[in-house]
Structure 1
Amino acid sequence: MKAWTLEQGDLVLSQGQIAWIEGRQELAQSVQIRLGTRLGEYFFDPNMGLDSEGLLGKQVTEDTIREAILRCLAEEERIRSVDELEVVWDKASRSATIQMVCTGLEGEEVRLEDVNISGLEA
């Protein structure tokens, strides 16, 4: 798949033209967008996104965050498997940082490092 290159939600321009990405970089960008979208927020696909409602309250742990991430990624049809997923939960800032490795349908390895998920309740 081919998509526009985004940096912090903004289009990237290269020599005055919109930059494009594809392959594993596009899949990594798609996963980051999916994790940064609250479930139900995107009206074109209300099933896309991270279920942040399930991450509210005092019972949030790295395991509950991990489960929510895996449910979110299960909706991405181009991911065959999530091979590694490390969650570091910072209760004070109500944010989690994740490192992950997943395998795409064509066998490509996709690595995401230092992905921040914020706005969680503790």
Structure 2
Amino acid sequence: MPTIRIDDEVYELLQRKAQPFVDTPNSVLRRELGLTDEPAQARQERRTNAPGELASLLKAGLLTVGEELVWKRRQATHRAVVTADGWLELEDGRPFETPSGAARALSGYEVNGWRNWGRARDGVRLSSLRDQL
């Protein structure tokens, strides 16, 4: 993702328009510019019919269809479920082929979803499950 530099005055304006613990500078800019809440990357992922990155964990029995995943952040807990084709479906219904794609959509910046998402039932991270393959 490209990096942009902004001055203090612009940053303060973004902070005033942000919802605490919800918005990122990116989400505020998207709203102010009249862009959809769903970035192009998420729309692109939705269009593919390929199995998701969690398919191998399903096949190995390390995850189950409909299993809940959680990502606990400072003041927010995000939830997703595992679909039959190995995708993650967020609470708002948006599907993502990759854990990192889902995390990026929620945070507004690059995130390693394998390290952040975990099974709700026991907290085991997806990266630990993948290491068991």
- After TM superposition, the score normalised by the length of structure 1 is 0.30
Normalized per residue, the structure richer in helix is: 2
- After TM superposition, the score normalised by the length of structure 2 is 0.29
Q: Which has the larger radius of gyration?
A: 2
Normalized per residue, the structure richer in strand is: 1
